[in-house]
Amino acid sequence: MNRFILFGHRILCCMFVVIGLMMGCGVKNVQPPTAVAAPQPITIEIKEGFQWPDNDLQKRFQQYWTLRKAGDSTGAFEFEAPHVREMVIWGRYDGFCKAVRSDWTSIRVEKINKITEQLIEVDFNMLINPKYGTSAEVFYRDSWLLIPGQWYHVLKDPFVTGDGFGRK
Amino acid sequence: MNYKVIRSFTFLFALLLLDLWGGVAATAGVLARGDGFVIDSGDVEAQKDYFLEKGFESTDQEHLNSVLKVRLFALEAKNSGLISSLPEATGTNKKDITEEYYRLFLLYYKHLMETYPVSEEAINSYYLSYPEKFLLNADGPKQDIKKQDLWVLDADMKNWIRNNIVLSQKAVIIENEFERLKTKNHVVIEK
């Protein structure tokens, strides 16, 4: 009988220990996660004589490519134009953002092509980290759309947006 | 007296066997079931033949998935009031209703695509982002395009853009709806 009581007592003690541990873990989980440091803004150079048509565009462009360089597809997605956000399949977009090279060090903006009053193209070069002693540049053309008061990136990649028509 | 008892027991035993046999026969070919429907190997074979005639080949698992999708979409067509009743097999050969189920699947698919929500903001954003698609004169300017160079964004144009946006999401829309209907109809796939 005594042995039985002793056994029951031990079980009870073990349960208290387990419950205590679980509560301890629970308290740890309740603590707010450490804030993730915002990525360091990328360096944007501009070609001699180049001028941004709009300060907000310059800011949004830098913020967007900072997020892309950091691999923050969720953050970058918020910069995409409304139709892109409704057309794109998230997994495909996420994969696309992660697949695009991020070994570039800075961006040099070459020129702006004004397509319409609200749509512009930004031609720029990505300066690639010189691995074998020589530096390289990759040309990019970005589209940006001004929808009342805000510039949005327009992703024009038919493989990502699924827009079978793509560019003309 | 003994004879009567033996006869009664024999009769009951025979009934029990028949019932068991019937039950086994009914469940032997069952591959999936949901609220108010069962999919058996006959359904899958019938659809396999139907698609084979059209030149499509798939694995057995894909065929089962496809039968399930067709069945659930047809069921939803009825539940949403697009049709009044579902087709029923007249005999053991299910080939005759396979085509009818597929027709109902397409009916619900069309309804799904037509009612899929696309925001006005997205339509407008698409129109503004691809001015080259809306040029009145296809050989017109490709830069510094003016508003008057473009087709007006009227109801027809909006509908065209809307369809483009929906089509780009076609696969996702279908798969999401399939998953929703599987949950709604408590679908269980037999191991």
Mean pLDDT across chain B: 85
ipTM of predicted assembly, 2 dp: 0.73
**pLDDT at position B93, please?**
66
Which residues, in sequence order, are bridge partners of residue B37?
B34
Q: What's B144's DSSP letter?
A: S
**pLDDT at position B158, please?**
96
Residues in Cβ contact with B165 at an 8 Å cutoff, skipping those fewer than 6 apart: A83, A86, A87, B118, B122, B123, B126
Please enumerate residues of B whose Cβ is less than 8 A from a Cβ of A: 118-119, 121-126, 128-133, 142-147, 164-165, 167-169, 171-172
Closest chain A C-alpha to B53 CA, distance in angstroms: 29
Which residue bears the tokens 């907000």? A56
**pLDDT at position A11, please?**
54
The answer to whether the CB of A50 falls within 8 A of the CB of A109 is yes
Helical H segments across chain B, by residue range = 2-28, 41-53, 60-79, 95-115, 120-129, 155-168, 170-184
Quick one: closest CA in B to A154, which residue?
B129
Nearest Cα to Cα of residue A81 among A131, A119, A111 = A119
- A116: nearest CB among B118, B145, B164: B145
Give yes or no for residue A13 having a pLDDT over 50.
Answer: no
- B145–A145: do the CB atoms touch at under 8 Å? no
Q: In the structure, what pLDDT confidence band is assigned to residue A72 with cuts at 50, 70 and 90?
A: very high
User: Average pLDDT, stretch A25-30?
Assistant: 38
- A83–B169: do the CB atoms touch at under 8 Å? no
User: Average pLDDT, stretch A42-56?
Assistant: 90
The answer to whether the CB of A120 falls within 8 A of the CB of A136 is no
For residue A156, count other CB atoms closer than 10 A to its CB.
18
Chain A residues in contact with B124 (beta carbon < 8 A): 82, 147
**pLDDT at position A14, please?**
45
Nearest-angstrom CA–CA distance, A95 and A22: 37
pLDDT digits (tens, 9 = 90+) for B92-137: 667 778 889 999 999 999 999 999 999 999 999 999 999 999 999 8
Task: Give the residue with greater pLDDT, B171 vs A25.
Answer: B171
Q: In the structure, what pLDDT confidence band is assigned to residue A159 with cuts at 50, 70 and 90?
A: confident
Q: Which of A113-127, A144-158, B47-61 has the lowest mean pLDDT?
A: B47-61
Nearest-angstrom CA–CA distance, B42 and B93: 8
- B147–A117: do the CB atoms touch at under 8 Å? yes
- A117–B164: do the CB atoms touch at under 8 Å? no
- B124–A82: do the CB atoms touch at under 8 Å? yes
Closest chain A C-alpha to B180 CA, distance in angstroms: 18
For residue A141, count other CB atoms closer than 10 A to its CB.
12
CB pairs A-B closer than 8 Å: 72
Chain A residues in contact with B176 (beta carbon < 8 A): none
Percent of chain A with pLDDT over 90: 44
Cα-based angle B116, B120, B121 (whole degrees, multiple of 5): 120
Nearest-angstrom CA–CA distance, A74 and A68: 10
**pLDDT at position A8, please?**
58
User: Average pLDDT, stretch B61-68?
Assistant: 91
Task: Give the residue with greater pLDDT, B138 vs A94.
Answer: A94
